[in-house]
Chain A
Amino acid sequence: AQSVTQLGSHVSVSEGALVLLRCNYSSSVPPYLFWYVQYPNQGLQLLLKYTTGATLVKGINGFEAEFKKSETSFHLTKPSAHMSDAAEYFCAVGGATNKLIFGTGTLLAVQP
């Protein structure tokens, strides 16, 4: 069975500050891990994914995430927040199929 926990349903940062969104997963098989972003009234956009290989994954818009097997974590970071980063972020876990299990989401607010 697979599951995802996103700590913090709401996160607020100042423009220019570090963004850290937390994701912990549980999986009985080697996981594939994904971060998606959703803007209001839109679908999900893939930010980055981890399947195998390098544990530090770089994505679009300056985001990156590190797969830490020992901590079962896949936290999303961005060194400097921009106003346009305000959105809802979802962590998801998958495996050998396309079925994704999503976390409950973190709504990121960026203050000027």
Chain B
Amino acid sequence: KAGVTQTPRYLIKTRGQQVTLSCSPISGHRSVSWYQQTPGQGLQFLFEYFSETQRNKGNFPGRFSGRQFSNSRSEMNVSTLELGDSALYLCASSLDDRGSYEQYFGPGTRLTVT
């Protein structure tokens, strides 16, 4: 079975621009969660989608948004980029949303904002 894939792997954007990151979960998985990883703040939960519905949301400003499609693929969007948005963005997929199932992480998208 193919693992979680994320595209692109690396991205350089300018402050004020917007960016869209993509995540394809493991086949059959219906839950996709997004995390931001930075040296200063560590791993922080952004949001989770299950069956095209946002189930949970972390403490991030409204500039961070996401969606999930009927095939469970998910995208996250960051508008009006700030320097502090530079981070590794990880997505994780799981069979369902009940917390007891394993979450499998993708390799991440490294976003650099200049």
Contact A43 B107 (CB under 8 A): yes
Contact B33 A99 (CB under 8 A): yes
Contact B43 A46 (CB under 8 A): no
Which of A51, A96, A99 counts the most chain B CB atoms within 10 A?
Answer: A99
Contact A97 B55 (CB under 8 A): yes
Bound-complex Cα distance A103 to B101 (A): 19
In this complex, how many residues of chain A approach chain B with their Cβ under 8 Å: the count is 26
Interface flags, A1-43, vs B, CB<8A=1, else 0: 0000000000000000000000000000000101010000111
Total A-B Cβ pairs within 8 A: 69
Q: Classify the interface of chain B: helix, strand, loop or mixed.
A: strand
Query: Among the listed B35, B42, B98, B105, which residue makes an inter-chain contact with A96, where contact means beta carbons less than 8 Å apart?
Result: B98
Interface residues of B (CB under 8 A from A): 4, 31, 33, 35, 42-45, 48, 50, 55-56, 58, 90, 92, 94, 97-108
Extra inter-chain contacts (20) besides given A95-B99, A97-B48, A100-B45, CB under 8 Å: A32-B100, A34-B103, A42-B108, A43-B90, A43-B105, A43-B107, A43-B108, A46-B104, A92-B43, A94-B99, A97-B55, A97-B99, A98-B33, A98-B50, A98-B98, A100-B43, A102-B35, A102-B42, A102-B44, A105-B43
